[in-house]
Amino acid sequence: MSNVNLQSGPSGRDNNSQDGAGADAGARNSRTANARTGRPLLEVRNVSKSLGGKLILDDVSLSLDKGQLKVLIGPSGSGKSTLLQCVHFLTPPDKGEVVLDGQSAREMGQKNICAFRQEIGMIFQDFNLFDHLTARDNVAIALRKVKGQPKTAARVRAMDELERVGLADKAGLYPAQLSGGQKQRVSIARAMAMEPKLMLLDEPTSALDPELIGEVLNVIANLARGGMTMLMVTHQIGFAQHLTNEILFMEEGRIIERGTPGDLLGENSGSRTALFCSRLTELTGR
Ligand SMILES: Nc1ncnc2c1ncn2[C@@H]1O[C@H](COP(=O)(O)OP(=O)(O)O)[C@@H](O)[C@H]1O
Ligand SMILES: [Mg+2]
């Protein structure tokens, strides 16, 4: 497993901390309920999706409370990325509902779906940065184009977000001048600048060299500690089990197991999740 410092972020700051305490899944548990409304922040209800004539998602349901991080794992091709795309409504489900903070994506209609999507930050394994823009402008451009912020305000905010991911000193560099880990931290800064209610992370470290994984995981741990609500596809289960209180295991388009890391990964649990993770460990040595 990567060596991850769960106590402080790369910048040594904890801007988002709500309680000042070192966060772990247990600490976040105590503040997971949406105190204002009592309802989950995200509800995915009975989502099904076919692509190319094949059923890819088969009646998938899950929910996330505010401030909760859930981890989605499963074999390649099991539908994890498709599920995140359905939650984002980039790929609208054929059946079922996605409700974010009480708003149903389907009910928002084609005209307002952009507003729904803006509430959700997406992190992909391949960063999706603009090569011709500096780190700072990669973060600022979304604030200008999507939020309509003036140039100066957007650049100031971009610096704050880069500082939060420990990259203030790299603000003027272009993606080609950054390591993979740094690029992923810029893409996280860009997503956070939009102040999303929910972050979806699709294997955020799987394109990275092993020695760069830890710095990105540290940033994600910091977001979790700050109370960001996240659904993360990752195979870094050794890391993720310290941040989550529910693992969802997906196979052939269905969530076939769900439970706490203790329940699913405990010795002799006999779970599919444990078997899958032990094979991963054998393959990667992590
Ligand atoms: N646009 C598409 N058309 C047809 N099949 C697709 C499309 N996108 C994904 N699939 C198929 O859906 C299945 C699930 O893919 P994906 O959600 O990417 O899985 P995972 O992220 O778990 O590896 C795979 O069998 C994949 O080939
Ligand atoms: Mg995938």
Helix 180-193 vs helix 210-225: crossing angle, to nearest 10: 20
What pLDDT does 268 receive?
84
What is the Cα 114 distance to its own chain's centre? Answer: 19
Q: Which residue, by CA, sits nearest to atom 2 of ligand 1? A: 51
CA 57 / ligand 1 centre spacing (Å) = 9
From the CB of 30, is ligand 1 less than 6 Å away?
no
What pLDDT does 34 receive?
59
Cα(137)–Cα(194) distance, integer angstroms: 14
Q: Give the DSSP per-residue string, 164-188.
A: HTT-GGGTT--GGGS-HHHHHHHHH
Query: If DSSP codes are grouped into helix, strand and coil, which group holds residue 64?
Result: strand
Query: If DSSP codes are grouped into helix, strand and coil, which group holds residue 254?
Result: strand
CA 264 / ligand 2 centre spacing (Å) = 22
Whether 95 is in a domain gets the answer: yes
CA 76 / ligand 2 centre spacing (Å) = 7
From the CB of 122, is ligand 1 less than 6 Å away?
no
What pLDDT does 286 receive?
55
From the CB of 56, is ligand 1 less than 6 Å away?
yes
- When divided into structural domains, the chain yields a total of 1
* φ, ψ for residue 122, nearest 5 deg: -115, 130
Whether 205 is in a domain gets the answer: yes
Cα(149)–Cα(211) distance, integer angstroms: 37
From the CB of 152, is ligand 1 less than 6 Å away?
no
* φ, ψ for residue 91, nearest 5 deg: -120, 95
- Which atom in ligand 1 lies closest to the alpha carbon of residue 52? 4
Whose CA is closest to 76, among 252, 271, 208?
252
Query: Cβ–Cβ contacts within 10 Å for residue 282, how many?
Result: 8
Residue 142 sits in a domain whose CATH number is: 3.40.50.300
Query: What's the count of helices (H) and strands (E) in the chain, helices before strands?
Result: 10, 10
Whether 30 is in a domain gets the answer: no
- Which atom in ligand 1 lies closest to the alpha carbon of residue 79? 17
CA 55 / ligand 1 centre spacing (Å) = 10
Q: Return the sign of the alpha-carbon dihedral for residues 65, 70, 74, 77.
A: positive
- Which atom in ligand 1 lies closest to the alpha carbon of residue 233? 21
Query: Cβ–Cβ contacts within 10 Å for residue 20, how many?
Result: 7
**Residue type (1 letter), 245:** N
Range of the domain at 146: 38-274
Whose CA is closest to 71, among 242, 235, 247?
247
What pLDDT does 267 receive?
77
Whether 161 is in a domain gets the answer: yes
Whether 33 is in a domain gets the answer: no
Whose CA is closest to 105, among 80, 123, 87, 122?
87
Whether 186 is in a domain gets the answer: yes
Instruction: Please check whether residue 172 is in contact with residue 138, taking contact to mean a CB–CB distance below 8 angstroms.
Output: no
Q: Which residue, by CA, sits nearest to atom 8 of ligand 1? A: 51
Whether 120 is in a domain gets the answer: yes
From the CB of 248, is ligand 1 less than 6 Å away?
no
What pLDDT does 140 receive?
97
Whether 22 is in a domain gets the answer: no
Instruction: Please check whether residue 43 is in contact with residue 99, taking contact to mean a CB–CB distance below 8 angstroms.
Output: yes
Q: For every one of its 286 residues, what pLDDT tens digit does the chain have, with 9 covering 90 and above? A: 444 444 333 333 333 333 333 344 544 444 445 556 689 999 999 999 999 999 999 999 999 999 999 999 999 999 999 999 999 999 999 999 999 999 999 998 888 899 999 999 999 999 999 999 999 999 999 999 999 999 999 999 999 999 999 999 999 999 999 999 999 999 999 999 999 999 999 999 999 999 999 999 999 999 999 999 999 999 998 888 889 999 999 999 999 999 999 999 987 888 999 999 888 876 665 5
Q: Which ligand is nearest to the CA of 72?
A: 1
- Which atom in ligand 1 lies closest to the alpha carbon of residue 82? 17
